[in-house]
Amino acid sequence: MESVISVAIVDDDRALCAAIAAFLDGTPGFRCLGVYFTAESALEGIPARPPHVVLMDINMPGRDGIACVRELKARLPETQIVMLTVYEDTDKIFAALSAGATGYLLKRLSPEKLLEAIREVHEGGSPMSSSIARKVVASFRRGGPPPRTPLPLSPREQAVLEALARGLTYKQIADQLQISIDTIRTYIRRIYEKLHVQSRTEAVAKYLRS
């Protein structure tokens, strides 16, 4: 039997929540486990029925999504949280990632891209919209040239990591390197192990500082 990825949605846009929930429930391999319109209700309901993945908005009445991420990750460290928001400013991106979010997506992405991102984060990746990935890269580079430290990676692992730093999806990397997505996932697992990191963001940070 195909495993099902359970998802919770935290957003005060009720129409959007209903649309995403219906789309998830109508897609094999996915299930919407709960919808929460405030951070407070999410902090009460999600720990009682933990999903695999949480889609989290930032701007909500009462406590914002970044504060909610911080508290949820403290309670549920294994649950992956992806920001799904309209905000593209660097401060909010890094505040969310520092709070414990594993990915950062803009609401204008297509339903198919959303499914791909949920799958990616569930499988150990760190999905980011391409414009967000570019901001992350630019922010690291503005920090000035760090000490050069060679990374303990093979040439192919280095190529995969460079593609991750450019914000490419697993499929785009696989197409570019002409290998399968499963092989890409194997390389990424090895990269995480060798660099002693747990997420795409951490791996990219080490790459940019190498």
Identity of the residue numbered 67? A
CATH 3.40.50.2300 segments of the chain:
5-137
Gap between the terminal Cα atoms of the chain: 43
62, 150 in Cβ contact below 8 A? no
147-208 folds as: Arc Repressor Mutant, subunit A (1.10.10)
Quick one: pLDDT at residue 143?
Answer: 53
CATH 1.10.10.10 segments of the chain:
147-208
Where do the DSSP E strands lie in the chain? 5-10, 30-36, 53-56, 80-85, 103-106
Q: How far is CA 201 from its chain centroid? A: 9
Q: Which residues, including other chains, have CB under 8 Å from residue 120's CB and lie 6 or more apart?
A: 103, 126, 127, 169, 170
Quick one: pLDDT at residue 16?
Answer: 95
- Residue 138: pLDDT over 60: yes
Tens digits of per-residue pLDDT, 47-77?
999 999 999 999 998 999 999 999 998 899 8
Asked whether the whole model's pTM tops 0.85, one would answer no
Q: In the 8-state DSSP scheme, what is residue 154?
A: -
By percentage, how much of the chain surpasses pLDDT 90?
46
pLDDT grade for 91, boundaries at 50, 70 and 90: confident
pLDDT grade for 207, boundaries at 50, 70 and 90: confident
- Residue 125: pLDDT over 70: yes
5-137 folds as: Rossmann fold (3.40.50)
